[in-house]
Structure 1
Amino acid sequence: MKKTMIAASLLLLTPTAFASADTYTIDTEGMHASVNFKVNHLGYSWLTGRFNDFKGHFVFDEDNTANNSVEVTINTNSVDTNHAERDRHIRSDDFLNVKKYSQASFKSTSVTPDGDDEGEYIVKGDLTLHGVTKPVEFEIEQVGAGKDPWGGYRRGFEGELELKAADFGINYDLGPAAATVYLELNLEGIKQ
């Protein structure tokens, strides 16, 4: 009897016990993922941009959300607002200071269901930007999941994170309308 219980306990600890936790590599090469941002311009319109170079992965488990996680690393020098002079200014020490802080990153501490809303989750984690790490929280929504035409399996999420640039030591004053930056995440992952 004891041997049977021990064997059963060991089976629970094997990798098959975690079979429903799938790891996905974020598809940046196929341009099926993006990290975009927008900042209010003088209260009249939006300045928009993106980071062209980033990488990451996420783990998704439908049965046990305690296994869910996401990590993203961004090359800050890849900032692109479709205006070369403005991009140089954003890269300068007035804003991102890419020579000193070449990367920004996010690592989740939890991904949990958002109440009764199926496919919606609350993500908590640590965002490092401009050399400062702060805890953040935001909502994501699953866009979809399924087989792709090449025999793989994909899953995608979208979400938006609001942050105050000043909280990360970026104090260049563009007026009160521009104090909040909105990061828009579109993450399509390929199951590994």
Structure 2
Amino acid sequence: MILSHRLKALLLAVFAMVSVPVVSGDTYDIDPYHSSVLFAAQHFGAGWNYGRFNEFEGTIEYDASNPAATKINVTIKAGSIDTANAKRDKHLRSPDFFNAAQFPKITFKSTKVEAKGDVMHVTGELTMLGKSNPVSFKLTKTGEGKGMQGETLVGFHGEGSLKRGEFGMNYGIAKGALSDEVKLVISVETVKK
């Protein structure tokens, strides 16, 4: 029996669809009570000053058998910035920096993940002060366990940096008061849905 070219093409397309497995990872909620979002900026070229955000939420879709399929979505409340100095925190919430009243949310959504074992190189879109730019960081799976109620927990640790001037946060850069580069350290514990 001779098959027409169209029928052959259709059969090949159907075979390709059914032979490619659909990989779907589990979804994990970030536990804000056992997680940290930290940053650091250099002051007048000398010490690095650290701060944190106290309010954030998000999900990580993760499949240990296919880490490259990982997807990350995070939302941070800009007004929750905390540097252990009330006067400085008030200034950081102002239009000179995060302008938290006008731009209350900072968001990150991953667009690409390259994985080697438990180490992932994550690229995504960070939106801050109404501007979106790509950022990249290294993310490592740190471990997993069971919580008090038997829930599945998975930990991740990430480090990277960004240039705040790319988002329009230029205060203090020209005079060298604060570095353009901001270091990021993210350590999260997640709970399987």
Per the normalisation by structure 1, the TM-score is: 0.84
- The corresponding residue for 2:65 is 63
- Determine whether 1:179 maps to 2:180: yes
Show the 5 A alignment for 1:1-192.
18=23, 21-28=25-32, 31-114=33-116, 118-174=117-173, 175=176, 178-192=179-193
Letter in 1 for 2:81: V
Deviation at 1:106, TM superposition (A): 0.2
- Three-state SS of the structure 2 residue aligned to 1:97 is coil
1:77 and 1:177 map into 2 onto residues whose CA distance is 20
Query: What 5-or-longer segments of structure 2 have no aligned partner?
Result: 1-13
1:25 and 1:11 map into 2 onto residues whose CA distance is 31
CA deviation map 1:87-112 (0-9, x unaligned): 01001111111111110000001222
- Three-state SS of the structure 1 residue aligned to 2:183 is strand
Query: What 5-or-longer segments of structure 1 have no aligned partner?
Result: 1-5
Letter in 2 for 1:126: E
- Three-state SS of the structure 1 residue aligned to 2:34 is coil
Deviation at 1:122, TM superposition (A): 0.6
Q: How many residues align?
A: 176
1:166 and 1:54 map into 2 onto residues whose CA distance is 23
Letter in 2 for 1:164: K
The higher radius of gyration belongs to: 2
Farther-moved stretch of structure 1 (37-46 vs 58-67) = 58-67
Deviation at 1:138, TM superposition (A): 1.2
The runs of 4+ residues in structure 1 deviating greater than 6 Å are 9-13
Farther-moved stretch of structure 1 (129-138 vs 37-46) = 37-46
Structure-2 change in CA distance of 1:144 and 1:74 (3 Å): same
Is the contact between residue 68 and residue 115 of structure 2 (CA under 8 Å) also seen in structure 1?
no
Per the normalisation by structure 2, the TM-score is: 0.84
1:185 and 1:66 map into 2 onto residues whose CA distance is 19
CA deviation map 1:149-178 (0-9, x unaligned): 320111111111211110000111241761
